[in-house]
Amino acid sequence: MYTIDFTKPIHVHFIGIGGISMSGLAEILLTEGFTVSGSDAKKSKLTSHLESLGATVHYPQLASNITDDIDLVVYTAAIHPDNPEYKYVREKGVPVLTRAQLLGQMMKNYSMPIAVSGTHGKTTTTSLASHVLMAAGCDPTISVGGILPSIHGNIRVGNSGVFITEACEYTNSFLSFFPKISLILNVDADHLDFFKDIDDIRHSFHEFAKLLPSDGTLIIDADTPNYETIANGLDCEVITYGLKNKDGDYTASDITFDKIGHPTFTCSYHGEKIGTFSLLIPGTHNVSNALATIALARKLDIDVETIKEGFKTFMGTDRRFQYKGKVNGVTVIDDYAHHPTEITATLKSAVNYPHKETWCVFQPHTYTRTKALLDDFARALTLADKVILVDIYAAREKNTLGISSRDLQKKIQALGTECYYFPSFKEVESFCLDKCHPDDMLITMGAGDVVKIGETLITM
């Protein structure tokens, strides 16, 4: 494994430097004095930003971009073996790291690396915790998987030993990390194109927890089914929290919501009240995310009042129950939810937001996930009053399973909920303009490009 040492900067080349995570890591290295180059298919805001910081970015990806002065090449899972740069690098024997391996190596350069994992809620919790860390004057380096308005992007380079990042389980990426504190927010069946089943996923999270040193800390949601199998056998400190499991170290009670669904709750530690907290993000699931953040903050000796101040400054990240605007009196919301558990949480959150009917425009994400969780998707989507489906967003896959959005439509209709399917965004937009009424809520939902529908509607 190639070692990254911030005191010995080298020339690092990123294949696919324009990705949100890759660009963030490149920015950190640039700030630490590394020479950074990279390539991507086309110019973007992210690549332009890196160029303004001193990176050299090539368009498109060609073998000639790999120059003799490059010491290390970083690539993502999206790069195929026939990629001209990757192929040339392998032929030349240039050292390589995956994106996850680079992130893990970078974590070694911080005295307090924090990894936020879980099937759902990583971006929101990392962002919420980041606001608390900034309120406490910790001056953290932050790497988040979405756009966080307060840091004007997905990366913040601090000047302390505190580093907080998301830790994704897909392809076991997080097993390349070296955290001092790890958060496990939940463990659910997902990414079944890689994992065999839920037991396989639990095993990976257990292996992730085992990466913690003996003086490290695991913070884990006690509401997670069989969470003990993940925490068992660890020689580090284990802190638990839970909404349902009142045996957790941190618990919440007296949960209430304001007129637009923002929760206030009482947090207790070992049964003793430590404070009343309010959030500016909706949903009971975010109370759980807040408990994880409170546990982390108190572990870092951040006082309750500072935690509250951090909560007051966080109004969410892009694509997490994000208000987009209005069209003909209809409130348009966008959300990244693409798993049944996430859909359930989002649609339950919507109940507390003032409106008449809930319309959900859902774009399934990947054929394998849709096929494996078809019944669960159908049940979750029936929480909306009316559902509109568009075609499955393929992402990295090809449809070898014979699954389509029409299969999901039939399941939803069989459960008694109105459900429509349209093959084009333009048809969805026309239908919504015709059928949605003033004071209705329209939620565009999914991890693909379904957000464009709402953005188009509010300009009409």
Nearest to 388 by CA among 412, 371, 353: 412
Nearest to 323 by CA among 148, 144, 152, 458: 458
Nearest to 334 by CA among 445, 447, 457: 445
End-to-end alpha-carbon separation of the chain, Å? 53
308 is catalytic: no
In sequence order, the β-bridge partners of residue 250 are: 241, 269
266 is catalytic: no
Q: Is 224 annotated as a binding residue?
A: no
Contacts by 237-244, CB closer than 8 A, 24 or more apart: 239/295, 239/299, 241/288, 241/291, 241/292, 241/294, 241/295, 242/288, 242/291, 243/284, 243/287, 243/288, 243/291
Q: Is 118 annotated as a binding residue?
A: yes
Q: What's the pLDDT at 353?
A: 85
- As given in the structure block, the two tokens for residue 282 are 């909706």
Q: Is 119 annotated as a binding residue?
A: yes
Q: What's the pLDDT at 296?
A: 98
Catalytic, out of 27, 85, 166, 169: 166
Q: What's the pLDDT at 318?
A: 77
Q: Does domain 110-313 fall into CATH 3.40.1190.10?
A: yes
In a 13 Å sphere around the CA of 29, the CA atoms on its Cβ side amount to: 30
Q: Is 58 annotated as a binding residue?
A: no
What is the full per-residue pLDDT of the chain (460 aa) written as tens digits? 789 999 999 999 999 999 888 999 999 999 999 999 999 999 999 999 999 999 999 999 999 999 999 999 999 877 889 999 999 999 999 999 999 999 999 999 999 999 999 999 999 999 999 999 999 999 999 999 888 889 988 899 999 999 999 999 888 899 999 999 999 999 987 777 778 898 999 999 999 999 999 999 999 999 999 999 999 999 999 999 999 988 999 999 999 999 888 999 999 999 999 999 999 999 899 999 999 999 999 999 999 999 999 999 998 877 888 999 999 999 999 999 999 999 998 999 898 888 999 999 999 999 999 999 999 999 999 999 999 999 999 988 899 999 999 999 999 999 999 999 999 999 999 999 999 999 999 999 999 999 999 999 999 8
- Backbone CA torsion sign across 446, 448, 454, 457: negative
Q: What's the rounded Cα separation, in Å, for the pair 158 and 150?
A: 14
Q: What's the rounded Cα separation, in Å, for the pair 103 and 319?
A: 24
pTM summary value: 0.84
Q: Is 33 annotated as a binding residue?
A: no
- Backbone CA torsion sign across 367, 444, 243, 164: positive
From the options 1.10.10.10, 3.40.50.300, 3.30.70.1450, 3.90.190.20, give the CATH code of 322-458.
3.90.190.20
Catalytic, out of 85, 122, 217, 293: 122
Q: Spell out the domain ranges in the chain.
A: 11-102, 110-313, 322-458
166 is catalytic: yes
CB of 120 within 8 A of CB of 342?
yes
CATH number of 11-102: 3.40.50.720
